[in-house]
């Protein structure tokens, strides 16, 4: 029986945290080996992850080193990038070569929202992936979705041929009016659509929670890690058959596999604890960024938006007494990237953002916090 934990290859270990292409292959290979050794088999990558290099890294660490029947591999086609229908065949062929496989177990139309769905319809992306499935190049076809439950309902009504849908589900976004995880989940269940969960820890934001929240969790289950609550919440939802976790350390792999090897759904008491924790966190976070980095590729100012948001959130947390360390990190980033104040509000980032964040406005807040610090670059 397929175990519910998948290895997300979007946040791999890096030798240089400012360069997404500097993946530590020695460490990544060890993580892959341990994940498989623990009986887990699902690996998720995408064309755009790690500056378009993730598929290459997966080939080296996984495909070349393990038998093809020992793992399940998923990757994605980004309709947003298409300018012509024939590009889909070119991209798909390149992905097979980059990954070093003859077929994909799971293949998704990537980051579907209003504009991406329009592109997918314009270039018949749904028809393209079904053709590849008929050819035996894809075993299961789906889409990753980041938009309203109304649009999800429209798409699943129009495309019942999909085998699954990938949704952002975590206990913070469950009732978030911008993400609407619960309602999207309900739509998927209405259509009888199996679900893969992404962002169960919301880009790592739920791996560390405020001290008051952590105390509640530890009082109930002293030995349970903080991330385990988030992953188990996602895996406990009806219709979910896989939960992706972006793991970059052996500690994370060992922790995740320990409680997901023999998965037990949350109890009613645990759901009540999570509700308390969510209330505490919602009062604490300034910007709900998951660090997916979709916003970075098209930024004309080369602004590392997720990194600045993370620093801003750290500076605004109630437990933070000063932000001197955040200023240091900001200085380092701003020396080789655009400053927050360099944002021209073109809003290309907002179109790409799965969280629908008002990034241009938020960058003004970040700039006010950091750009007047001592010694900041003036370029």
**CATH code, 191:** 3.20.20.100
Could you tell me whether strands 164-168 and 42-44 are parallel, antiparallel, or unpaired per DSSP bridges? unpaired
Same domain, 35 and 151: yes
pLDDT score of 339: 96
Q: For residue 239, what are the contacts with CB-CB under 8 A and spacing of at least 6?
A: 185, 188, 189, 193, 194, 195
Q: Is residue 300 part of a domain?
A: no
Same domain, 35 and 164: yes
pLDDT score of 317: 59
* Average pLDDT value over all residues in the chain: 93
Answer yes or no: is pLDDT of 30 > 60: yes
First vs last C-alpha separation in the chain: 56
pLDDT score of 325: 58
Answer yes or no: is pLDDT of 379 > 70: no
Cite the DSSP H helix spans in the chain.
25-37, 49-52, 54-58, 87-99, 114-122, 125-134, 149-158, 181-190, 211-220, 226-235, 250-260, 268-282, 305-316, 324-334, 348-352, 359-370
Same domain, 145 and 225: yes
* ∠ Cα 339 342 345 (to 5°): 130
Q: Is residue 291 part of a domain?
A: no
Answer yes or no: is pLDDT of 203 > 90: no
Domain boundary (249, 282, 315) is at 282
Answer yes or no: is pLDDT of 261 > 50: yes
pLDDT in tens, 299-342: 999 999 998 998 888 677 544 445 555 787 688 788 889 999 99
pLDDT score of 324: 57
Same domain, 241 and 311: no
Same domain, 129 and 271: yes
pLDDT in tens, 140-187: 999 999 888 999 999 999 999 999 999 999 999 898 877 889 999 999
Q: For residue 193, what are the contacts with CB-CB under 8 A and spacing of at least 6?
A: 156, 162, 164, 165, 239
Domain that holds residue 365: 305-370
312, 315, 317 from 322: Cα distances, Å:
12, 7, 10
Q: Are 360 and 345 in contact (CB under 8 A)?
A: yes
Same domain, 31 and 125: yes
d(CA 218, CA 197): 25
Averaged pLDDT for residues 346-372? 94
Given phi > 0 = left and psi -120 to 50 = alpha, else beta, which region is 248? alpha
Burial class (CB in 10 A: 0-12, 13-18, 19+), 33: middle
Q: For residue 293, what are the contacts with CB-CB under 8 A and spacing of at least 6?
A: 20, 306
d(CA 121, CA 112): 11
**SS3 of 334-359:** HCCCCCHHHCCCCCHHHHHCCCCCCH
Q: Is residue 163 part of a domain?
A: yes
Q: Is residue 112 part of a domain?
A: yes
Q: Are 226 and 208 in contact (CB under 8 A)?
A: yes
More confident residue, 97 or 291: 97
Tell me the DSSP string of 160-185. TT--EEEEE--TTTSS-TTT-HHHHH
pLDDT score of 373: 64
pLDDT score of 310: 81
Say whether 241 sits in a helix, a strand or coil: strand
Averaged pLDDT for residues 86-92? 98
Q: Is residue 225 part of a domain?
A: yes
pTM: 0.84
Q: Are 326 and 308 in contact (CB under 8 A)?
A: no
Same domain, 212 and 122: yes
Same domain, 243 and 139: yes
Q: How many domains does the chain have?
A: 2
Domain boundary (250, 282, 314) is at 282
Most confident of 91-100, 108-117, 178-187, 201-210: 91-100
pLDDT score of 378: 35
pLDDT score of 333: 83
pLDDT score of 319: 40
Answer yes or no: is pLDDT of 375 > 90: no
């Amino acid at each position: 029986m397929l175990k519910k934990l998948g290895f997300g290859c979007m946040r791999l270990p890096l030798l240089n945290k400012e360069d997404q292409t500097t993946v530590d292959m020695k460490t990544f290979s060890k993580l892959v080996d341990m994940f498989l050794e623990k009986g887990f088999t699902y690996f998720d990558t995408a064309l755009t992850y790690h500056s378009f290099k993730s598929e290459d890294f997966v080939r080296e660490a996984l495909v070349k080193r393990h038998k093809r029947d020992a793992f399940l591999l998923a990757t994605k086609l980004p309709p947003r990038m298409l300018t012509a229908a024939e590009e889909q065949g070119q991209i798909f062929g390149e992905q097979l070569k980059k990954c070093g496989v003859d077929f994909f177990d799971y293949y998704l139309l990537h980051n579907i929202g209003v504009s991406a769905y329009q592109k997918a319809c314009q270039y018949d992306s749904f028809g393209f992936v079904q053709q590849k499935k008929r050819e035996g190049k894809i075993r299961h076809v789906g889409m990753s979705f980041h938009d309203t439950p109304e649009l999800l309902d429209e798409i699943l009504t129009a495309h019942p041929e999909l085998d699954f849908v990938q949704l952002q589900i975590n206990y913070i976004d469950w009732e978030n009016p911008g993400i609407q995880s619960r309602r999207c989940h309900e739509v998927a269940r209405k259509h009888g659509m199996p679900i893969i969960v992404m962002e169960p820890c919301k880009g790592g934001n739920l791996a560390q929670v405020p001290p008051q929240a952590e105390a509640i969790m530890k009082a109930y289950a002293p030995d349970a890690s903080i991330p385990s609550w988030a992953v188990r919440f996602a895996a406990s939802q009806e219709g979910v058959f896989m939960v992706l976790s972006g793991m970059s350390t052996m500690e994370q792999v060992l922790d995740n596999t320990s409680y997901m090897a023999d998965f037990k759904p949350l109890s009613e008491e645990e759901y009540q604890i999570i509700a308390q924790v969510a209330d505490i966190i919602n009062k604490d976070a300034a910007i709900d960024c998951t660090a997916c980095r979709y916003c970075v590729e098209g930024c004309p100012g080369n602004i590392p938006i997720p990194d600045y948001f993370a620093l801003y959130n750290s500076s605004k947390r109630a437990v933070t007494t000063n932000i001197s360390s955040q200023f240091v990190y900001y200085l380092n980033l701003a020396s080789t990237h655009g400053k927050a104040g360099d944002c021209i509000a073109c809003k290309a980032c907002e179109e790409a953002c799965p969280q629908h964040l008002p990034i241009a406005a938020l960058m003004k807040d970040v700039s006010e916090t950091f750009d007047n610090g001592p010694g900041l670059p003036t370029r």
